[in-house]
Structure 1
Amino acid sequence: MHPSHQNQAQWLNRSLLLFALERDGILSRFFRLAFINILSNLMVPLAGFLSVAFLGHLSEIRHLAGVTLSTILFNYLYRTLGFLRMSTTGVTAQAVGRKDREAVLTIGLRSGLIALLLGMIILILHSPARILGFALLSAAPEVKASGQAYYDARIWGAPATLLNFVLVGWFLGREQSGKVLFLSIVGNGANILLDYILIVRCGWESVGAGLATAISQYLMCLVGMILVSREVRWQEIRSLAGKILAASAVKESFKLNSNIFIRTLAFLSTFSLFTNLSSAMGTIVLAENALLLQVITLVVYAIDGLAYATESLTGILTGQRDSDRLLPLLRMAGETSLLVGLTLALSFALFPDSLFGLLTNHAEVLDSLNRDVFWLLPVLGFGAIAFVLDGYFLGLSEGATLRNTALAATLVGFAPIAIAAWLFHSSSLLWLAMSAFMAARAVLLAVRVPRMLKG
């Protein structure tokens, strides 16, 4: 086929795809969900940035350092339990697609009960977990003291934090992103306000930062419960009490959650190893890579908004047994995500001094950044596709696929090149390892798509 004819055929196919999606309302639903999800997600780093600003302006920098140290523990603790959000969204969306209100309510109640149980276990074990966690972290005694004070205050918010995962997942599964945005405003807004009151006005330093986070989580949870109570009657909950702990349903839930847990643990371990290897290469490399990772994290928050929309609609279409629209939805989501990821990556790659100059004024770090900044293109390009595919398979509740691809990407894509980077003391090889990790995730998930459609 002549190239011009081929381009015309591709343009026609894309136009027909968009027309079909818009005719069925999928296009507008996707972008509405994505836009609201992106706004909701971006409030998290905004609240974190302001919290850092409050702590960073205290007379002693040890409080900021201590909170940063303690946050490493909470990242592992809460992100590995993020399956409470992920699994709830997919199975809830499928129940919505089947128009099975009883299943929608039962899933929410079961997930909430699991979250509450895990939250109570965390509270019971919080002291030995603190001792073990801080024993593994290296820092000056005064920094550790501030970190432990923050930990001891924030940990009491564990039950509310985990319940909020479930509430967000349940609302996302029902295409109620507006409620998720409202909860994000409540939780992050309260956190910012309480940070100011407790850190700046009361002078409670790292303890104030921990209490602000814990209290804001309970406020968010309370508002979420009120939203649920406005559409779910107590009589309905009582009638479903016997089905919440049904053996078969609990077994399926445990299987899905454990697979997502392993997937998330592999993901977090990859980024932690990347940071540790960066540290071994010197302060300048660590500072440079930390700034690049900040950009990646910010872009991923935006891409996750598209992934959440994909997850919700994939689950609903699966519940409706409407597999014909799954592939068009995935193509549209993937192209949009790729456009967002590459556009933002290219912006930082083309104007590194201007954009990274907002984050640091150290000339040696900026010089080092100019050498490695173009690694953002493959990392965020492949990452944009991988995260949307994550959302797609979460919508299908394909936990085993997510687990296997994450483990393979870490062990085969990342680890061998990362070892070479350590041996040769090469930051470029380290970024090649991260690029290979993202590429492996994208490819391994993509090859599973046709098989899922056939299934």
Structure 2
Amino acid sequence: MIALPLPKFTAHFLRLAAANILSNLMVPLAGLIDTAFLGHLNDIRHLAGVALATVIFNVLYHSLGFLRMGTTGLTAQARGRGEDDEVWRVALRNGSLALGLGLLILLLQGPIRTVGFALLPAEAAVQVAGAAFYNTRIWGAPAVLLNLVLLGWFLGQGQGRRLILLSALGNGANIGLDYLFIRQWGWASAGAGAATALSQYAVLLVGLNWVLRDGGWGRLSRLLPQLRDYTALRGLLQLNRDILIRTLALVASFALFTQFSARLGTPVLTANTLLLQVISLTAYFVDGIAFATESLAGQFHGSGERQHLRWLLGLGGTLSVAIGIGIALGFSLWPIPLFGLLTGHGDVVARVGHYVWWLLPSLGLGAIAYLLDGYFLGLTAGKALRNSSLLAAAVGFLPSALLAQHLDSPHLLWLAFTLFMAGRATTLARLVPSTLTSLDTIETFGELK
């Protein structure tokens, strides 16, 4: 059972959120490391090839993010109920699924490479460099997916310090291996891929060592036969399916936004790309709060402490919106110096100024949407998350985006993006009162199992 006094709970929440934010901010560092080493080579095709292949990995691993999200909620709920064995069964079930998917990716690496590069046309030399990066990095797939489960499992137990240590280890190993493979051995893009893959295995080894140290082989061998609980497996697959659909709806909406921006012309595309960079930066901060909310919501759900859920939403929501609005105001009030850090082209910065105020509603509503995403992930309300994203994409984003294309209006395109965030926020917010009065069902189109 979880019985934290509110002041202690607030301090715990803030520590966990800070740990998640620091861990999140290390994510883009890995890409910057590869860019820094490859960008100093004489032949720029290696950098371009890595950028091309990275798109394939981003789509692949982002789509499988349900391994992290599903693990966190189930682990947190089991911990809240005081069911230690179930905490470990979650790790074993999701770990087995991650290992199976990782091995499947290795088996299908040829078709994935063929389809991926066919959809990403580029010069032959760039494609060759990209394929070299792909061919080495792909061998890290099992480690990447198992690490998603480990991160979700540690997060579900509120172990934020371990998240920071694993992120620091992964980036540190990547730096050292990049230097060895690229600078010393001259492997170029293939070296960057090998460094990324091996750094993931380093993270996996340390994470598994912590797991074994916490529970030992005895507990794992005792619980392993219980993985044949087909009811639990079916529930896990249904939850992961719903989270996957939710993720694909988000990915598709962002991809269409970029594609529609390109159709409106290169100046609009470059301006919108910079604005999306601000949204991505904000997400690293807001997601840190959402992850902390996810962990504690699951624990309070498991222990039945609904009064803490209300406090959790108030604290997490206030911090998220404050960060979202604060960053939006900063870039809106001082666009020239801040966007000047991202590009030296004055004409691009000037065009950004035409649309920069759309950051206020986009980030304000987006902060609420991401926070509620974390809340409902903690409650493992996969159906609610799935339907919310599908409805926001189909009713909020797509009609206005198509109209923006027809009328050649960048502002209408930003309205579509804002409506997408508003749709996600409002549909999930409507379900919140049900979670505070009953943890059995959510009315309308959402459902808690």
Q: TM-score, normalised by structure 1?
A: 0.93
Unaligned stretches of 5+ residues in structure 1:
1-19
1:386 aligns with 2:369: yes
Aligned residue for 2:342, secondary structure, equals coil
Find the aligned partners of 2:334 and 2:228 in 1 and give their Cα distance.
55
Deviation of the 1:446 alpha carbon: 0.4
The 5-angstrom pairing of residues 40-51 of structure 1 reads 40-51=23-34
Match of 1:254 in 2: 237
Match of 1:264 in 2: 247
Match of 2:317 in 1: 334
Unaligned stretches of 5+ residues in structure 2:
439-449
1:241 aligns with 2:224: yes
1:73 aligns with 2:32: no
1:370 aligns with 2:353: yes
Correspondence for 2:101 among 118, 121, 134: 118
Find the aligned partners of 2:44 and 2:261 in 1 and give their Cα distance.
23
Please say which of residues 188-197 and 103-112 is displaced more in the overlay. 188-197
Aligned residue for 1:26, secondary structure, equals helix
Deviation by residue 1:207-249 (Cα, 9 ceiling, x = unmatched): 1111111011000001101111111121111111111131001
Give the conservation status (yes or no) of the 8 Å contact 2:306–2:437.
Answer: no
1:168 aligns with 2:157: no
1:313 aligns with 2:290: no
Find the aligned partners of 1:24 and 1:113 in 2 and give their Cα distance.
39
Find the aligned partners of 1:204 and 1:285 in 2 and give their Cα distance.
37
Give the conservation status (yes or no) of the 8 Å contact 1:171–1:177.
Answer: yes
Please say which of residues 417-426 and 339-348 is displaced more in the overlay. 417-426
Give the conservation status (yes or no) of the 8 Å contact 2:52–2:130.
Answer: yes
Find the aligned partners of 2:388 and 2:127 in 1 and give their Cα distance.
36
Find the aligned partners of 2:400 and 2:313 in 1 and give their Cα distance.
31
Deviation of the 1:125 alpha carbon: 0.3
Deviation by residue 1:296-315 (Cα, 9 ceiling, x = unmatched): 11110111110010001001
Q: For 2:223, give the aligned amino acid.
A: L
Find the aligned partners of 2:182 and 2:358 in 1 and give their Cα distance.
38
Match of 1:293 in 2: 276
Q: TM-score, normalised by structure 2?
A: 0.94
Q: For 1:291, give the aligned amino acid.
A: L
Aligned residue for 2:214, secondary structure, equals coil
Give the conservation status (yes or no) of the 8 Å contact 2:137–2:197.
Answer: yes
Give the conservation status (yes or no) of the 8 Å contact 1:110–1:245.
Answer: no
Q: Could you tell me the percent identity over the aligned residues?
A: 52
Q: For 1:30, give the aligned amino acid.
A: F
Match of 2:90 in 1: 107
Correspondence for 1:30 among 10, 13, 18: 13
| Distance 1:289-1:53 versus aligned 2 partners, 3 A rule | farther
Deviation of the 1:284 alpha carbon: 2.2
Please say which of residues 72-81 and 276-285 is displaced more in the overlay. 276-285
Deviation by residue 1:324-372 (Cα, 9 ceiling, x = unmatched): 2111211110011000111111111111111111111112211111111
Aligned residue for 1:230, secondary structure, equals helix
Correspondence for 2:180 among 191, 194, 197: 197
Deviation of the 1:452 alpha carbon: 2.3
| Distance 1:177-1:86 versus aligned 2 partners, 3 A rule | same
Give the conservation status (yes or no) of the 8 Å contact 1:115–1:159.
Answer: yes
Aligned residue for 2:121, secondary structure, equals coil
Match of 2:139 in 1: 156
Find the aligned partners of 1:360 and 1:200 in 2 and give their Cα distance.
28
Deviation of the 1:21 alpha carbon: 8.1
Find the aligned partners of 1:357 and 1:245 in 2 and give their Cα distance.
57
Correspondence for 1:428 among 393, 404, 411: 411
**Count, aligned residues:** 436
Find the aligned partners of 2:345 and 2:78 in 1 and give their Cα distance.
53
Deviation by residue 1:230-269 (Cα, 9 ceiling, x = unmatched): 1112111111111113100100000100000000011011
Match of 1:447 in 2: 430
Find the aligned partners of 2:186 and 2:47 in 1 and give their Cα distance.
14
Deviation by residue 1:401-424 (Cα, 9 ceiling, x = unmatched): 000000011111111111112222
The 5-angstrom pairing of residues 271-282 of structure 1 reads 271-282=254-265
Correspondence for 2:326 among 343, 348, 356: 343
Find the aligned partners of 1:192 and 1:435 in 2 and give their Cα distance.
38
Q: For 1:244, give the aligned amino acid.
A: L
1:141 aligns with 2:124: yes
Give the conservation status (yes or no) of the 8 Å contact 1:36–1:178.
Answer: yes
Find the aligned partners of 2:317 and 2:144 in 1 and give their Cα distance.
30
Find the aligned partners of 1:222 and 1:454 in 2 and give their Cα distance.
43
Match of 2:445 in 1: none
Match of 1:9 in 2: none
